[in-house]
Amino acid sequence: MAGMVDAARRDLTATLAATLRRIERDHLYRTRRTLETPAGPRVVVEGRECLSFCSNDYLGLASHGEVVAAFQRGAARYGAGSSASHLICGHSAAHHALEEELADFLGRERALLFSTGYMANLGVVSVLCGRGDTVLEDRLNHASLLDAATLSRARLRRYAHGDARDLESRLAALSGEGRVLVVSDGVFSMDGDLAPLPQLADAAARHGGWMMVDDAHGVGVVGPNGAGTLERFGLDESRVPVLMGTLGKAFGVFGAFVAGSGVLIESLIQLARSYIYTTALPPAVAEAARASLRLIREEGWRRERLHALVRRFREGAAGLNLPLLESDTPIQPLLVEEPQRALHLAAALLERNILVSAIRPPTVPAGGARLRVTLSSAHSEADLDLLLDALGELV
């Protein structure tokens, strides 16, 4: 009898192997490259020294001496791990200080640390919405926001990318029952463009919806003081009550936060399962992020330099007629459409010791494969010229 049951079920290995073959056939197979050096413009990848244009370390803080030293001092003082979740006994003075400093930086009453941006998004959306409610999201929102809506059990509706009119008409069509949450990336992670946040926030407000912005690629980079896309547009807590950001990109460290009113943060502490049921970040990580935040606040020249490099890259690319998407952030995608072509271009660049990632579906929509070039204030003008020369020859 046991044999009959086994035969009726498909073999696990055979089933998975068929899926892997399909992924490979569609040129969507993903592989990891092993780095042997710290994050920075120059990295050693499997023995090959490369110029890297794919990290999110926009301000060159991931291997900055002060950030690394703060990490080391934090480990010496607090040990390697936090030993428990925040609500048991894992919440240290380092976490607490970072939360207060983030709230001050962002002009919000309080901030709350999460282990990752993915978990922050799952936690917040599930606290704000549930069965019978509606979450409206931009079509190109980060995967973690789409997953967050699914996990919350609310209805998920996706509006056209960056289109406040489409959002408005979808809001107008809602029945009027249940809560409504509008969620957008501040800077779109694979496109580099900014969401039209004032228009989205106005549309949300007109229909009694709440507005949440995921500013993973905005905080540290966008806005006169680097406080992100909300600072750039002059949007305060009354218009965007929920702000999420990460510490793994411009901060160069790891982790994430939500900033907002005391009532919002206290609600997350009580209710967000991805906050409650997980080990707190190592306190040393929080100490490193505090050092990054100091540099973000005090060294505005990093942002200025980054934006000058972005302008230089775009001018050079325009001279070569490269198919760059419209973006004035350090995310500068080159649209190549077909996954196979994106892979070939990335491989040809690697032959020239230039590391750029090929982004393919399902990370981007079908037909939207691209080379995602990212710039950092740690790049030199000569680095950009090398990339432009190579792209000019290949594309």
Ligand X SMILES: *Cc1c(COP(=O)(O)O)cnc(C)c1O
The distance of closest approach from Cβ of residue 189 to ligand X in the complex, given in angstroms and rounded to an integer, is 4
The distance of closest approach from Cβ of residue 199 to ligand X in the complex, given in angstroms and rounded to an integer, is 19
3-state DSSP call for residue 23? helix
Tell me if 246 contacts ligand X by CB under 6 A.
yes
Between residues 90 and 192, which has the closer beta carbon with respect to ligand X? 192
Among the listed residues 52, 217, 274, 327, the single catalytic one is: 217
Q: What angle do CA 289, 37, 372 make, to 5 degrees?
A: 75
Between residues 371 and 391, which has the closer beta carbon with respect to ligand X? 371
The distance of closest approach from Cβ of residue 395 to ligand X in the complex, given in angstroms and rounded to an integer, is 25
Of residues 180, 256, 345, 359, which one binds ligand X by CB under 6 A? 256
Of residues 82, 92, 116, 134, which one binds ligand X by CB under 6 A? 116
**Residue at 159: amino acid letter:** Y
Residues 211-230 that bind ligand X (CB under 6 A): 214, 216-217
Let me know if 249 is a catalytic residue. yes
Is residue 187 a contact partner of residue 250, using CB atoms and an 8 Å limit?
no
The distance of closest approach from Cβ of residue 141 to ligand X in the complex, given in angstroms and rounded to an integer, is 7
Tell me if 144 contacts ligand X by CB under 6 A.
yes
Tell me if 313 contacts ligand X by CB under 6 A.
no
Q: Look at the chain and count its residues.
A: 395
Among the listed residues 64, 249, 292, 379, the single catalytic one is: 249
- What does each C-alpha distance from 57 to 88, 106, 395 come to in angstroms? 32, 20, 26
Between residues 137 and 185, which has the closer beta carbon with respect to ligand X? 185
The distance of closest approach from Cβ of residue 1 to ligand X in the complex, given in angstroms and rounded to an integer, is 46
Of residues 108, 142, 239, 290, which one binds ligand X by CB under 6 A? 142
Residues 364-393 that bind ligand X (CB under 6 A): none
Closest CA to 106 of 293, 305, 300, 377: 293
Tell me if 189 contacts ligand X by CB under 6 A.
yes
Stretch of residues binding ligand X (CB under 6 A), selected from 97-105, 113-121, 158-166, 331-339:
113-121
Residue identified by tokens 């949007």 is: 235
Of residues 41, 74, 90, 117, which one binds ligand X by CB under 6 A? 117
Secondary structure element (H or E) that encloses residue 258, with its range: strand 256-260
Closest CA to 281 of 71, 141, 130, 131: 71
Secondary structure element (H or E) that encloses residue 76, with its range: helix 65-78
Stretch of residues binding ligand X (CB under 6 A), selected from 23-31, 209-217, 228-236, 280-288:
209-217
Residue-by-residue DSSP string for 139-196: TT--HHHHHHHHHHTSEEEEEPTT-HHHHHHHHHTS-S-S-EEEEEESB-TTT-PBP-
Residue 92 in tokens? 């240290």
Let me know if 189 is a catalytic residue. yes
Residue nearest to ligand X (CB): 117
Residue-by-residue DSSP string for 84-133: S-IIIII--HHHHHHHHHHHHHHT-SEEEEES-HHHHHHHHHHHH--TT-
Which residues are paired to 242 by β-bridges? 212
Of residues 220, 248, 252, 330, which one binds ligand X by CB under 6 A? 248
Active-site residue set: 189, 217, 249
Positions touching ligand X (CB under 6 A) are 116-118, 121, 142, 144, 185, 189, 214, 216-217, 246, 248, 256
